A and B are shown apart, each in its own frame.
Chain A
Amino acid sequence: MNYTIHFSQVVEYIPYLIGGAWISLQVAFLSFCGGMVIGLFGAMTKTFGGPITRRIVDAYVSFFTNTPQLVQIYFLYFALPEVGILMNSYQAVLLGMTLNAGGYLTEIQRAGFISVRQSELEAAETLGMNLIQKVRYVILPHILKVLFPSLSNLYILMTLGTSMAAIFGLEELTGRALNINAETFRSIEVFSLTAVLYVIVTIAASLTLLFVGRVFFRVKGKVF
């Protein structure tokens, strides 16, 4: 082994990498929010919709949860221009991640919808609530509490998933690490530093989620 490890060259790039981590968090947050909206509509359709719309949602969920996110984004980025839809890498990654998250979140939220007791829904019906009101006042407060652990788990996995945006040239944490690697050739140092930054970022995200869960949804959880 004739490779000596020098961190000194890489250390000066740390602020640049942290800037990338910020973009990673942004992408994860935006696509998670988008996915939540898709998932909410998907779960509503799957629980209350007719047979045909339910089939459509089923097909959507099954397709997006059974194929890799990377290939989905490849498809959006390289195949859609053939029909004239041009997206830059940020839009393609965001759209791909949102659609992918929508599939998983539909499944997660549907499980929450089922866990709402039938009598509560009937009570809401008696009070004359329509579907939107039922979801807003009866189902959501209930499922947000029940689903909080699996939602925050998915959020962490999605934060890790943003690393594949680097493949499309987006300059987030991994993308910037690749840039530094190309400039300095200190591969091991750069990528181990990136790994540590990812650990820090996800632990920070976990702690934030724990705090949010404690304060707003009264869920007890743990980081480790």
Chain B
Amino acid sequence: MWERIAEELPRFFTYYNVIFLLKAMFTTFLLSMIGCLLGSIMGGVLAILKLTKSAMLLPLRAVALVYIEFFRRIPFLVTLLLIFFVFQAIGLEMSVFAVAVVSVWVIATAFIAEIARSGLESVPAAQWEAAEVMNFNLLQTLRTIILPQAWKVILPPAFSFFVMFIKDTALASQIGVVELTYSAKVLNNKGFSAALAFGVVLLLYYMLSYPLTKIGAWMEKKLDIS
């Protein structure tokens, strides 16, 4: 194996292959990034929805609950295929990248909603009650009292979810998104040894994920309120 890798190495790291790999790496990052950003907006909305108490919003609360419980229990691959075929059936002309982003969005919404909910609930109930006594409505309470305290609890796990999803987006290669895993398959099909192609991609994933993990750990330490 080693002789073969040593022999292929100069051919592997040509200008175009390096550009191809770096582009794929950027796609991997972008996929998870956009999906999680959109997901945190929707997830925040769902988490706040779950906190409302009025009877009028009951159906919406039920939808939020079912959505969160459902999509946290479906594998990413199945979501990806389902959304891929749904878009095909509707007849929307979308790139596979967009389909993958929507899938990440759908899954991230459910997970981040749960993270945000536990963060919002970490603020002592007495403060909620005090705000109610002061006649604050829900949005005022959230903006002036709850969020300034809760974001410290929400951000670290949400960030580590984002880092986790960078690895899970490897599955997007199955519907043809040209990200790192797909690029490894392409290079392998071009005739490079599988050990070299997949080994390099493993290293690139590591280089992408390891610094982000460290940032996450630093953030957790920095924001530790206890």
The answer to whether A binds B is yes
Q: Which residues of A are in contact with B by a Cβ distance under 8 Å?
A: 1-3, 62-63, 65-72, 74-75, 78-83, 156, 160-164, 166-167, 174, 177, 187-188, 191-192, 194-195, 198-199, 202-203, 224
Chain B residues contacting A174 (CB-CB under 8 Å) are 75, 77-78
Residues of A within 8 A of B205 (CB): 66-68, 71
Interface residues of B in 176-226 (CB under 8 A from A): 180-181, 184, 188, 193-195, 198-199, 201-202, 205-206, 209-210, 213
16 A-B residue pairings within 8 Å (CB atoms): A1-B89, A66-B205, A66-B206, A66-B210, A68-B205, A70-B171, A71-B201, A72-B202, A74-B181, A75-B202, A78-B198, A83-B1, A163-B76, A163-B77, A167-B174, A199-B74
Flag if A78 contacts B188 (CB, 8 Å). yes
Given contacts A79-B198, A174-B77, A198-B73, contact A1 B90 (CB under 8 A): yes
Query: Could you tell me if B181 and A194 are in contact, using CB atoms closer than 8 angstroms?
Result: no
Task: Chain A residues near B58: list those with CB within 8 A.
Answer: none
Q: Is the CB of B73 within 8 A of A160?
A: yes
- Given the complex, which residues of A lie within 8 Å of B168, measured CB to CB? 68
Assembled-state Cα–Cα distance A192/B188 (Å): 33
Residues on the A chain within 8 Å of B27, using CB? none
Cα–Cα distance between A93 and B74 once the two chains are bound (Å): 19
A82 to B198: give the CA distance in the assembly, Å. 13
- B109 → chain A closest CB, angstroms: 15
Contact call A163/B78, Cβ cutoff below 8 A: yes
In the bound complex, residues from chain B placing their C-beta under 8 Å from that of A191 are: 78, 81-82, 85
Distance in Å: Cβ of B12 to nearest Cβ of chain A: 14
1/0 per residue, CB under 8 A from A, across B86-127: the answer is 101111000000000000000000000000000000000000
Chain A residue contacts of B65, Cβ below 8 A: 224
The reply to whether B202 and A71 form a contact with Cβ atoms under 8 Å apart is yes
Whether B195 lies near A75 (C-beta < 8 A) is yes
- Those of B153-176 within 8 Å (CB) of chain A: 167-171, 173-174
A119 to chain B, nearest CB (A): 23
A contact patch SS: helix
Q: How far is the CB of A3 from chain B (nearest CB, A)?
A: 4
Which of the residues B75, B167, B213 comes within 8 Å of A68, measured between beta carbons?
A: B167
Given contacts A164-B77, A198-B73, A224-B69, contact A70 B188 (CB under 8 A): no
How far is B213's CA from A113's CA once the two chains are assembled, in angstroms?
22
* Interface of B toward A, CB cutoff 8 Å: 1, 4, 65, 69-70, 73-79, 81-82, 85-86, 88-91, 167-171, 173-174, 180-181, 184, 188, 193-195, 198-199, 201-202, 205-206, 209-210, 213
Residues of B within 8 A of A164 (CB): 75, 77, 171
Q: Provided the pairs A66-B213, A68-B205, A79-B199 are in contact, do residues A198 and B89 lie with their beta carbons within 8 angstroms?
A: no
Contact A177 B181 (CB under 8 A): no
- Cα A187 to Cα B202 in complex, Å, equals 32
- Shortest 4 CB-CB distances between A and B: which pairs? A163-B75, A79-B195, A3-B89, A68-B170
A199 / chain B contacts, CB cutoff of 8 Å? 69-70, 73-74
Tell me how far the C-beta of A1 lies from the nearest C-beta in chain B, rounded to whole angstroms: 5
Contacting residue for A71 out of B70, B174, B181, B213, CB 8 A: B181
Assess A82 versus B75: contact at CB under 8 Å? Given A68-B181, A164-B171.
no
- Tell me how far the C-beta of A95 lies from the nearest C-beta in chain B, rounded to whole angstroms: 15
B1 near A82 (CB under 8 angstroms)? Answer: yes
B194–A78 CB distance below 8 A: yes
For B184, list chain A residues within 8 Å (CB). 71, 74
Closest to B88 in A: A187
Distance of A198 Cα from B85 Cα, bound (Å) = 18
Known: A3-B89, A83-B1, A174-B77. A67 touches B167 (CB 8 A): yes
Q: Give bound CA distance, A160 to B167, whole Å.
A: 14
Residues of B within 8 Å of A82, CB to CB, are 1, 4, 193-195
Q: How far is the CA of A81 from the CA of B188 in the complex (A)?
A: 14
**Complex CA distance for A147 and B97, rounded to whole angstroms:** 38
Q: Is the CB of B79 within 8 A of A195?
A: yes
Do A75 and B73 have beta carbons less than 8 Å apart? Answer: no
CB distance from B134 to the nearest CB of A (A): 32
